[in-house]
Chains A and B, each alone.
Chain A
Amino acid sequence: MAWYKGMAGPLVIIWIVAFIILFSHYYPGTVMDSISSTLYNWGIIAGSVIIWVGLINVCYYAYRDLKRKAPGRWYFAAFQLLIIILILASGFGQGETSYQPGANTIINWLFNNVYQIGAMTVSAMSGLYCVTATYRAFRARSAEAALFIIAGVFVMLRNAPIGGVIWAGFPIIGEWVVSTIYDGIIKTLYICMAIGILAYVIRYYMGKEKAALGVLE
């Protein structure tokens, strides 16, 4: 088998692309800049194509569920297909500007009156769970838990607009909890994440992350 037909072909492309982008990042002002810029543009085009691949994938699985009348799922699949067809028909039928804000189109109506409201409602629901959590879960069963609750109360009083009005010290203590204790932890987390990403990238460039190259073991 020719060398480029296995994993080596895609890996060579990845190495070249990575070299150009890294070179342009660390040594700006060379010819690599324009090549790197073109590569980013290619990335955008590939991203747009991937959206279509995703759409085909979603349609395929929804259609399959509908055809098989998958128990507990087929009606969701039917609804999903209906919405996809409606949006595509509206988009293609009502023209290029149908998605633009303010346009009186089916896409905009669905987006403003169904999706936007639904998404915000689901997001806001978590606030209600927080209230039950404060009453049912925040118990000072141990010294550590008590410390955790006290720190939490100070952060709450820092976040509440009235906290600083009740006592000017609340935001200062809350800020200390966040900037001194929390910041150290989050910075450690970031560093660990960065090391993890670096390790992954090295493995990827060495061809050890085969799934990314389309090789399933």
Chain B
Amino acid sequence: MDEGRVSRRNALKYLGLLTVSAAGREFLASWLPMQLVRGDGHRAPVNISGMHHESQEPEAVATYSPQFFNPDEFRTVEILAAMIIPTDDAPGAKEAQVANYIDFVVFSAAEFEPLLQRKWIDGLAFLGRESQKKFNKSFREADEADRVKLLTDMSAPERDPNVKHEGFAFFSVAKDMTVEGFYTSKIGLIDVLDYQGMNYMPDFPGCTHPEHH
């Protein structure tokens, strides 16, 4: 149970406060369509879903099978994502299944943005060629140190805008989508960053540090 979130518990406490005042009761009556009637006849605070309180848990997902990348490509995507956001003392792209997310988004791009599919196919092909040239192996079979070296080279323009690299455009897409996929997942946003918005808070203390005031 995530102490920090306590959204369900907070919500019940918050809703409990509503029934205390006349204003709160009238509000509940006019605005919220569902009320839970307990067996003993007392009206409990509103049903959570009636207040449009979304579950904060991700939906249970059956095992995901890649829909766009072939098995070798998908393995490469997994490796790339784990290189960008690794598992260290906190969960990473692997635990958050970022490769599934990337595959799903790239697959879904067919209708309106097929260029995104091209970027990945071409990018992965580039990665494979470079890896063969430098290490005589595919990217996914190369040593970790070699892979890091290649990715570091490809990302050089990040560190120096005067430098160019043929693989930089693909590096940028892979990095952006990995960061996006990780930090919008429950693991990234809640477990790692401990995001506290979209919750029910009874008050907003703001800054609690005397030295800032």
A associates with B: no
Residues of B within 8 A of A (CB): none
